[in-house]
Structure 1
Amino acid sequence: MANSGGGTLVFGITESQKAATGRTDTGKLSERHESALRSVAVTAISPPVFGLDVVQLGEPGNQCVVVVVPQSMDGPHLIYRGEYFGAPLRNDADTVWMKERQVEAMYRARFDERRRSAEVLDKLYAQAAAMRSADSPAWIVAVAHPRLPGTGTKRPTNTAARMAFDQAGKNALVYVGRGSRHPLENTDMNNPRPGLRRWTSRPMVDGDSRRWQEAWVSIHDDGSVSLAAAAGGHRRSRTEYHDDHVVESRAVEVAIADFMGLIRESSDRLTLGEYEVKIGFEWDKKDRLEIWATGGMSGSESRGTIPLAQFTPIEVTLRADADAADFYQQVHDLALDCVNQAGIGHVQTISPPS
């Protein structure tokens, strides 16, 4: 079914000649049974099929189990039997084996999709990065695009956009609490403005004195999200500021938390799975980018960090529909990838539960 656009399995149905004739109780869906179903999709298939939706329906004594197999862009999915492998394909009520030309076409479609996805991601990144003024401090730019974009024909209303930004902010607070400056909270989330197939929350700044708080955040109609926010030049005290090329690691972590909060909200709202993500930094390049470690009694410091002549963009695939604990871990790992480039070995504010 993953090789043929997805499908649905229903356990607890009697049938005759491909037609359902009645119900038969499956019994209770235990954690062991559900784990076994998911394990088959991951361990017995290559590449694995993630994102199964396993649900029990009905009352005790008349229960069934529904397994929804999502559409996949990673075909062909293969199964192995000893030294042999094949690509099964669902054809009405039968399962057939793909011919060589079908396997070739599916691989070509997979590679074309990845190339197209990379092009879309690069375009989104360029659009978000263009919001930074030439004299602004260093910015963090983060964009994400679903591998299977949302296909709804009705555009979200202004009210729906406000609710989406509000929920994204609540999501972010799960990962980093109120003690830090959130880019989302520096934007006018209560008054999003329409754009090209997107809604944008604009910065709330009152001049150059607060340019270190500037942020632009967008939620796109197809489920894509983008965040571009000042990360350098942050205030150290009432009268002191970091240099424009100096970024506190805490500011990176908070921006990642807000960005992932946006992804989680879009995924939940549009029922999306995997996202392609790209994160980078933009600055004037007159000085090397410095990400200072923050935390503890000393505030922020550059000791042991690595000044960067360039920042290698982080490009990863995330499972936006993962359970809460797994998604939390992805937030942590993404922030860690960012600060690791500057020689910082751990994050300070994002601590997934054990």
Structure 2
Amino acid sequence: MNFTPLHRALGLPPCPLTDEILSDAVTSGVTETDDLDWKSELPPIKGLSQTDVPKDIAAMANSGGGMIVYGVEEHGKAATGRSDAGEFTEGHERAYRSVAVTAISPPVFGLEVHRLGTECRAVAVVIPASVDGPHLIYKNDFFGAPIRNDADTAWMKERQIEAMYRARFNERRRATEAVDSLFAEAAEGRDTVERAWLIAVAHPRVPGALTRLTRDEAREVFNDARTITLSFSKNTGIHPLDNVEYLNPRPGLRRWVAPNAATGDRSIWKESWVSVHHDGSVSLATAVGGHRMSSDGYWEGWQVEGRGVECAVADFMALIRAAARSLHLDEYDVRVGVEWSGEQPLSILTVDGSGFPYDGVSTPLRAFTSARSTVTASASDADFHRQTRELAEDCVNQGGITYLHVIEPLPEDEN
């Protein structure tokens, strides 16, 4: 669902943006604001970086996000009619997105492009709110930070730029604290003296509104994640999402919890808990030490199979992507760690040429350093696959393991 400046101006609830909504906004004479800009025609694809497009995008990003609509005539800042903006080709869209990344610093990611109408075509570009301001644009040897001033675009003064940098640094500190708080909460009460636990948490950099997910919506997120994880990982090893009650999530504090389904003496070794929060945060806790190594034998609690770590990271990343799709989010701050407080050093096991666990190359770990990253949940399938592999490699490399065995190689790595 979308909630744009057009929805707000027309008093509409969140719903898909349609050509009818745009026509109603034009008929009502909706005026430009600090988050809505009318344009009568599309900018030329040639020399796009030299047009006002970078300035317009940066100004919206610096002002909390907004929307630029191409294909609307205006007079006195009020919409007066529709005009055919022309065809917005895939090449045009690629160039437009490229400008947002290459002509603005820091880049602006996560643009939403809506093609509206067939006979009288329009294009609506939604620029997300950003915590990376001020976004600067450069022309020759000069730079500036544009900002929306009601319906106009102005340039920030020095004090405004200073204040925005201060806000960025404060936001980064707050985001780190939020992730660490989620991590501590997810790790609380785990029997880390007996077996190692992988704890993974993610918090959206720009959290969504606290619109309480329904049980059905939460079920869809968990089920979607189970499909996503198999798009870039093998159905081997112990996947945490296979060991939780994903079809019957339970309410928690501003979240839905998929509780552990691996109960009983013969299954508790693969205990897992997964949550999706109403603000888009996700958390995963799964036992990775002491897994079963044969029909009647188990590894020690300090022995962790690398394949188990990979499965957990794959499921965790899939959960991020599914939650982001459901709640229309983009970038996430993530932290993945292995908690172990026993006496023996932690050991991550790889597999030998026959596929059996092997500890001959493991590096004993007195402490596992949490892997931290920023994940772009809305990235293309290939880019998201790459992010997943990199996060998994950060985890297993600490134990002396080089190769992944569950998460599929990227297409270009197969040759």
C-alpha deviation, 1:217, in angstroms: 0.9
C-alpha deviation, 1:208, in angstroms: 4.3
Q: Which amino acid aligns with 2:68?
A: L
C-alpha deviation, 1:209, in angstroms: 4.1
Q: Which residue of 2 aligns with 1:33?
A: 92
User: Is the 2:234–2:407 contact (alpha carbons within 8 Å) kept by the matching residues of 1?
Assistant: no
**Residue 279 of structure 2 is aligned to residue 219 of structure 1:** no
Map 1:274-285 onto structure 2 (within 5 A).
274-285=331-342
Q: Secondary structure at the match of 2:121?
A: strand
Map 1:1-354 onto structure 2 (within 5 A).
1-59=60-118, 61-153=119-211, 155-294=212-351, 296-351=353-408, 352-354=410-412
Percent of counterpart pairs with the same letter?
A: 53
User: Is the 1:285–1:309 contact (alpha carbons within 8 Å) kept by the matching residues of 2?
Assistant: no
Distance 2:199 2:368 in 1: 12
Q: Which amino acid aligns with 1:78?
A: L
User: Is the 2:345–2:366 contact (alpha carbons within 8 Å) kept by the matching residues of 1?
Assistant: yes
Provide Cα deviations, 1:259-282, integer angstroms capped at 9, x if missing partner. Answer: 111111110111011100001001
Provide Cα deviations, 1:76-99, integer angstroms capped at 9, x if missing partner. Answer: 111122332211111133211111
Distance 2:411 2:189 in 1: 36
C-alpha deviation, 1:328, in angstroms: 1.6
| Cα pair distance change 1:79/1:295, threshold 3 Å | farther
Provide Cα deviations, 1:320-346, integer angstroms capped at 9, x if missing partner. Answer: 111222112111111111111112222
For the aligned residue pairs, the C-alpha RMSD in angstroms reads: 1.7
Distance 1:269 1:167 in 2: 10
| Cα pair distance change 1:254/1:109, threshold 3 Å | same
Q: Secondary structure at the match of 1:112?
A: helix
User: Is the 2:208–2:279 contact (alpha carbons within 8 Å) kept by the matching residues of 1?
Assistant: yes
User: Is the 2:305–2:357 contact (alpha carbons within 8 Å) kept by the matching residues of 1?
Assistant: yes
Distance 1:96 1:163 in 2: 44
C-alpha deviation, 1:135, in angstroms: 4.2
User: Is the 2:105–2:135 contact (alpha carbons within 8 Å) kept by the matching residues of 1?
Assistant: yes
Q: Which amino acid aligns with 2:129?
A: Q
User: Is the 2:200–2:316 contact (alpha carbons within 8 Å) kept by the matching residues of 1?
Assistant: yes
| Cα pair distance change 1:305/1:133, threshold 3 Å | closer
Distance 1:93 1:199 in 2: 41
Provide Cα deviations, 1:265-309, integer angstroms capped at 9, x if missing partner. Answer: 110111011100001001124111111113641411112221111
Using CA pairs below 8 Å that are at least 6 residues apart, which structure has the higher relative contact order? Answer: 1
User: Is the 2:85–2:122 contact (alpha carbons within 8 Å) kept by the matching residues of 1?
Assistant: yes
Gaps spanning 5+ residues in structure 1: where? none
TM-score between both structures, scaled by the size of structure 1: 0.94
Distance 1:63 1:295 in 2: 59
C-alpha deviation, 1:107, in angstroms: 1.1
C-alpha deviation, 1:190, in angstroms: 2.6
Deviates more, 1:235-244 or 1:159-168: 159-168
Q: Secondary structure at the match of 2:79?
A: strand
Gaps spanning 5+ residues in structure 2: where? 1-59
Aligned residues: 352
TM-score between both structures, scaled by the size of structure 2: 0.81
C-alpha deviation, 1:241, in angstroms: 1.8
Q: Secondary structure at the match of 1:269?
A: helix
C-alpha deviation, 1:156, in angstroms: 2.1
User: Is the 1:141–1:279 contact (alpha carbons within 8 Å) kept by the matching residues of 2?
Assistant: yes
Provide Cα deviations, 1:186-242, integer angstroms capped at 9, x if missing partner. Answer: 112232222111111221233444332111111111111100101111112112222
Provide Cα deviations, 1:94-144, integer angstroms capped at 9, x if missing partner. Answer: 211111111111111111111111111111101111141244311110000
User: Is the 2:192–2:339 contact (alpha carbons within 8 Å) kept by the matching residues of 1?
Assistant: no
